[in-house]
């Protein structure tokens, strides 16, 4: 699969968070996420391992009860089924890989 940059076709995960799945295969999916300042992603978990890289912005992750402040250039990996949440302090852009594929994020 090959993805060619397209500024359109973002979907809303929920208020303040939009995403686009860029590419996927049999075992992983790659997505771009835009998060608006002031958004709070509620505590949740999913079976997918989630590995990310922050391109721009500032956020605080709470992963398994521990807080992590993030900025541009920071990265993370959240094991599957571990509860996590996010507070967005500045408009943010992140790239995330999910394994297995996030079927619910596919176009």
Q: What pLDDT is recorded for position 87?
A: 98
pLDDT tier for residue 60 given thresholds of 50, 70 and 90: very high
Asked whether 32 and 95 are in contact (CB, 8 A), the reply is yes
Distance of alpha carbon 17 from alpha carbon 60, whole angstroms: 15
End-to-end Cα, the chain, rounded Å: 13
| Share above pLDDT 90 across residues of the chain, in percent, rounded to a whole number | 92
β-pair partners for 21: 31
Span 9-19, average pLDDT:
94
Q: What pLDDT is recorded for position 72?
A: 98
Is the model's pLDDT at 1 over the cut of 90?
Answer: no
Is the model's pLDDT at 90 over the cut of 90?
Answer: yes
Distance of alpha carbon 18 from alpha carbon 30, whole angstroms: 14
Q: What pLDDT is recorded for position 71?
A: 98
- When the candidates are 2.60.120.10, 3.40.309.10, 3.40.50.880, 3.40.50.720, the CATH number that belongs to 33-102 is 2.60.120.10
Q: Where are the domains of the chain?
A: 33-102
């Amino acid at each position: 699969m090959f993805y060619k940059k397209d500024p359109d076709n973002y979907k809303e995960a929920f208020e303040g968070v939009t995403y686009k799945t860029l590419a996927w295969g049999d075992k992983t999916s790659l997505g771009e996420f835009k998060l608006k300042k002031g958004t709070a992603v509620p505590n949740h978990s999913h079976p997918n391992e989630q590995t990310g890289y922050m391109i721009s912005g500032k956020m605080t992750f709470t992963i398994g009860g521990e807080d992590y402040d993030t900025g541009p250039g920071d990265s993370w990996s959240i094991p599957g089924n571990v509860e996590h949440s996010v507070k967005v302090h500045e408009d943010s852009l992140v790239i995330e890989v999910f394994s297995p594929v996030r079927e619910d994020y596919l176009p």
